[in-house]
Structure 1
Amino acid sequence: MKSVLFATLLVLGSITAVAQTFYFPQRNADWEQRPPGDFKIDAEALENAVRFAETNEYSGSRDLRIAIVKGFEREPFHEILGPTKKRGGPAGIILKNGYVIAQWGDTKRVDMTFSVTKSFLSTVAGLAVDQNLIADTGDRVVNYIWDGTFGGEHNSKITWEHLLQQNSDWSGELWGGKDWADRPPREGGIDDWKFRKLNQPGTVMEYNDVRVNVLAYALTHVWRKPLPVVLKENLMEKIGASTTWRWHGYEHAWTEIDGLRMKSVTGGGHSGAGIFINTEDMARFGLLFLNKGRWKSEQIVSSSWIQAALEPSKPNVNYGYMWWLNKKGDRHWDGLSEDIYYAAGFGGNFIVIDGENDLVIVTRWLEPDQIGEFVEKVHAALK
């Protein structure tokens, strides 16, 4: 009996030791830093990666209204509908086991983060599943949202999973945005796009902000409260995030629930709005996911949700529940682990999570097509 007890204590002790290797920063306290050498990481090679990020700044205008209009100029009817903010310069932070081993730029500056917002939105859906507000992501959304948003033969087939994986081909208009006008094909014209044959939900992925905003709208009605409040109370407060982040919707995107008028937020900054946040709060969010949804002793997001969110979708092996996956597909970073996953936003905003090496990499305003090389340079320092 004593030997069994001793063995049990050894196992529990080893689990505790593993858990204690992660550092979790307190709110409004200096984030503890460690020299890269403490983790047998080449400091010079890591500094080389940082210099790469600093010298490969996103080439678009720092006036993001200009950058947004230019970036989406092909879209008919595109306009700025929500708040924007002039951005800062390149910034970033690299965590090893939760400790800062490198940082650059102004990591406390609040900037737009564009489609990185989608990974936060996905997590709000995960919290709804964890709290049984949504029974299963395979459920049809029309069984929860019956106001006509998911009416009709096609839209009524759409499940929560289809929306999360961006393969629903939801058809309609929300807040003045038409699904067919969002990132239209390079060939054809308005009539071709409007009257196209719809794809069976779950068969074709299409990155589409109108449909992402439909997900945000549906989740607002499921939670029966504004999503920024949901995120704040159920996650951001618990990980000690600052009080500076904001989640905006379009100026006219109001809905009424239980007699209360509330804003329906966006899943990105395609037409303005989305999450405005600093680099350090992004790193906290990444650290939560690195530790499989656990912050210190509290399980904030279930590990089962994170596992589900990182399952490759059938139409696109590089996409899960609004997280990009480094699987062998069109967006694979050669030479790097297939277990790496990341949030990505317009203008070069990224949260990269590498569980194999206990790394979180946040970089902002990096030329987007340089992200793979940047991560390779970070990993070169590990060797």
Structure 2
Amino acid sequence: MKISFFTLCLLFGFIGNTQQPYFPNAHSRWEQRSPNDFHIDESKLNSAVAFAEANEYSGSRDLRIAILKGFEREPFHQIIGPTKKRGGPAGLIIKDGYIVAQWGDIKRVDMTFSVTKSFLSTMAGLAEDKGLIRDTKDLVGDYIWDGTFDGAHNAKITWEHLLQQNSAWSGELWGGKDWADRPPRNGGIDDWKLDTPKEPGTVMEYNDVRVNVLAYALTHVWRKPMPLVLKEHIMDKIGASSTWRWFGYDNAWTEIDGLQMKSVTGGGHSGAGIFINAEDMARFGLLFLNNGKWQNEQLVSSNWIKKATKPSIPNVNYGFMWWLNKKGERHWQGLSEDIYYAAGFGGNFIVIDKTHNMVVVTRWLEPNKIGDFMTKINSAFN
């Protein structure tokens, strides 16, 4: 029987709990390990990978078609930002920082849709860490005084409300009306658009217009475009490639300090958002797995990650733009409640599993198969 050097080190105590976490370098190949080195059942892990490959998202690979079909119920919906045809299923499974499985083209840049929201949330975290925002419980109107948060209703909205998607912000941004985003499946739209907005903090409503309001507000707080903040404070430091991009809508320009800046989106259901490869997504996930620390530098405070992954009152499965595997409507039964994840249209996921010290990135998986996929991976550890 062949025993790897890594396994021998484990057996003889050269590698133990004191081992420094592994982080891939910026310009060298991400190191791989055999699943057997971690006592992972390789055949079961391969079965999980085969499942991901066999359950490709059923929507068109031409994402303009998939987007228009997926959001056809929205009045006035149109594509007003960049799009890109997608590739096939791809992903990585990272254990203790090492790649133990991968499939598809992990270097192909694709749209990532609402996975972008978790990146956007992190921009708010950095703003709080650096004192640009004193506290997420502050009223946004105390920072943004241009009318975006005027009025008896919008004046009540805090940063926390925007991050938890329970702000019920009312208005129009970049031509998008808050009431026209994701209308109810039951009842008339005409009745819905005339409804009195919910009290901020009481009801979660997944709504890209309101997410884009957060991106707009953060752009003004930082006084620079969000892609530049992400690049300088996160992506360059974690060794991400130079291929990712973060777009806004074609008309989403704002002036700050006499300069025209693009205000980005937190998703891609009208185009735009973050376009990125699976490997860079995994690096971002690995940063969060290590509580915001990359090698010897704390890039995002552990306090922020704790706040970002705390269940909101209206929705136990949602924090600060991260989905949480708590016992609620989106619970993956039989899996750790400490799991949290970013999720986007078309089956894009970054899953953080602290119990197994693991990051899972999967792209273009049929969205309703993610729970089954994670269960299969989990079985390989048992």
Please give the range of the TM-score, normalised by the shorter of the 2 chains: over 0.9
Identity fraction in percent: 75
| 8 A contact 1:21–1:97 mirrored in 2 | no
Map of 1:46-125 to 2, 5 A cutoff?
A: 46-125=45-124
Task: Tell me which residue corresponds to 2:9.
Answer: none
Letter paired with 1:173? E
Task: Tell me which residue corresponds to 2:206.
Answer: 207
CA distance in 2, matches of 1:17, 1:324: 32
CA distance in 2, matches of 1:214, 1:261: 17
Q: Is 1:156 matched up with 2:155?
A: yes
Task: Tell me which residue corresponds to 1:379.
Answer: 378
| 8 A contact 1:111–1:276 mirrored in 2 | yes
Task: Tell me which residue corresponds to 1:190.
Answer: 189
The alpha-carbon deviation at position 188 of structure 1 amounts to 2.8
Letter paired with 1:382? F
The alpha-carbon deviation at position 345 of structure 1 amounts to 0.2
Task: Tell me which residue corresponds to 2:290.
Answer: 291
Map of 1:302-381 to 2, 5 A cutoff?
A: 302-381=301-380
Q: What SS is found at the alignment partner of 2:341?
A: strand
Task: Tell me which residue corresponds to 1:6.
Answer: none
Matched residue count: 369
Deviations 1:54-83 (A, max 9, x none): 000000000000000000000000000100
Q: Is 1:256 matched up with 2:255?
A: yes
Letter paired with 2:127? A
Q: What SS is found at the alignment partner of 1:213?
A: helix
Letter paired with 2:341? Y
| Residues 211, 129 of structure 1: alpha-carbon distance in 2 compared, 3 angstrom cutoff | same
CA distance in 1, matches of 2:258, 2:190: 39
Q: What SS is found at the alignment partner of 2:343?
A: strand
CA distance in 2, matches of 1:101, 1:22: 15
Task: Tell me which residue corresponds to 1:42.
Answer: 41
The alpha-carbon deviation at position 301 of structure 1 amounts to 0.2
| Residues 343, 19 of structure 1: alpha-carbon distance in 2 compared, 3 angstrom cutoff | farther
Task: Tell me which residue corresponds to 2:237.
Answer: 238
The alpha-carbon deviation at position 17 of structure 1 amounts to 6.3
| 8 A contact 1:130–1:302 mirrored in 2 | yes
CA distance in 2, matches of 1:159, 1:17: 45
The gaps in structure 2 that reach 5 residues or longer are 1-12
The alpha-carbon deviation at position 368 of structure 1 amounts to 0.1
Task: Tell me which residue corresponds to 2:29.
Answer: 30
The alpha-carbon deviation at position 19 of structure 1 amounts to 6.2
| 8 A contact 1:309–1:321 mirrored in 2 | yes
The alpha-carbon deviation at position 190 of structure 1 amounts to 3.4
Task: Tell me which residue corresponds to 2:6.
Answer: none
Please report the RMSD computed on the Cα atoms of aligned residues, expressed in angstroms: 1.2
Q: What SS is found at the alignment partner of 2:280?
A: helix
The gaps in structure 1 that reach 5 residues or longer are 1-13
Deviations 1:289-339 (A, max 9, x none): 000000000000000000000000000000000000000000000000000
Q: What SS is found at the alignment partner of 1:319?
A: coil
Task: Answer with 20-29 or 248-257: which moved more.
Answer: 20-29
The alpha-carbon deviation at position 189 of structure 1 amounts to 2.6
Deviations 1:59-117 (A, max 9, x none): 00000000000000000000001000000000000000000000000000000000000
| 8 A contact 1:350–1:364 mirrored in 2 | yes
| Residues 340, 119 of structure 1: alpha-carbon distance in 2 compared, 3 angstrom cutoff | same
CA distance in 2, matches of 1:153, 1:189: 26
The alpha-carbon deviation at position 18 of structure 1 amounts to 4.2
Task: Tell me which residue corresponds to 2:269.
Answer: 270
The alpha-carbon deviation at position 29 of structure 1 amounts to 1.1
| 8 A contact 1:246–1:277 mirrored in 2 | yes
The alpha-carbon deviation at position 21 of structure 1 amounts to 4.2
Q: What SS is found at the alignment partner of 2:250?
A: coil
Deviations 1:251-284 (A, max 9, x none): 0100000000000000000100000000000000
CA distance in 1, matches of 2:152, 2:236: 41
CA distance in 1, matches of 2:344, 2:126: 22
CA distance in 2, matches of 1:97, 1:192: 52
CA distance in 2, matches of 1:191, 1:350: 34
Letter paired with 2:210? R
The alpha-carbon deviation at position 246 of structure 1 amounts to 0.1
Q: What SS is found at the alignment partner of 1:20?
A: coil
Q: What SS is found at the alignment partner of 1:87?
A: coil
TM superposition score normalised by structure 2:
0.95
CA distance in 2, matches of 1:248, 1:180: 23
Letter paired with 1:142? G
| 8 A contact 1:181–1:193 mirrored in 2 | no
Q: What SS is found at the alignment partner of 2:305?
A: helix
| 8 A contact 1:279–1:362 mirrored in 2 | yes
Task: Tell me which residue corresponds to 1:3.
Answer: none
CA distance in 2, matches of 1:119, 1:375: 20
